[in-house]
A = this chain, B = another copy of it.
Amino acid sequence: MKCFVMAVLAAAVIAGFTRTATAAENGKKTKKQFTLNPIGTVQKAGGKTRLVIDKEVAPALLGLDGWSHVWVFWWFDRNDTPQRRATLQVHPRGNRNNPLSGVFATRSPARPNLIALTLCKIISIKDNVVELEKIDAFDGTPVLDLKPYIPGYDSAEATVPDWLKK
């Protein structure tokens, strides 16, 4: 009986520890989460801007050379902290003269999900390397996805707030 109690206690301690670790990994969220695996990396060197796509997913580039522009989805990896991901409102462009705005109304790099989006002009594609005209991401930034830019689907006659026009 004593042995059984010890075994159960040992099991309970470890199970308890494991539950704690899992809760921490999940950031205390009980809701469903989704997982992103980077597909490549931004490389800025020698005056060139390139996306170096992981070789195992490089077959997914087939035919991208038929398009002039691509949406690059990347991760604001320098902001991947609980504090930055809890940021809900900012002054756009860090300028306190701009009205306090929700991050969903700005392109702030601090936001709940750190997905960044940039429309880029393709210069060339060779094997697993896509050379771009430019991108507003740092060297070494993880890349998440590429999608071709479709003019009719991806553009609109739009209005914007006054602070953007300054």
Contact = CB atoms under 8 A, between A and B. Distances in A.
Interface of A: 2-4, 6-11, 13-15, 18, 27, 29, 31-39, 53, 57, 59-64, 66-71, 73, 75, 77, 80, 88-89, 99-107, 111-115, 117, 119, 121, 142, 144-151, 153-156, 158-162, 164
A153 B61 contact: no
A76 to B, nearest CB: 10
Dominant secondary structure of chain A at its interface with chain B = mixed
A155 to B, nearest CB: 4
A105 B105 CA distance: 29
A57 B102 CA distance: 9
Given A7-B9, A11-B11, A63-B101, 18 more contacts: A11-B14, A14-B15, A15-B18, A31-B38, A34-B75, A35-B36, A57-B88, A60-B89, A60-B104, A63-B161, A64-B105, A67-B159, A73-B115, A104-B145, A107-B148, A119-B155, A119-B156, A149-B158
Given A36-B34, A113-B145, A145-B113, A64 B102 contact: yes
Contacts of A36: 33-36, 113, 115
B112 A67 contact: no
B3 A100 contact: no
How many copies of this chain are found per oligomer?
2
Contacts of A164: 150
A151 B161 CA distance: 12
Given A39-B113, A161-B63, A156 B147 contact: no
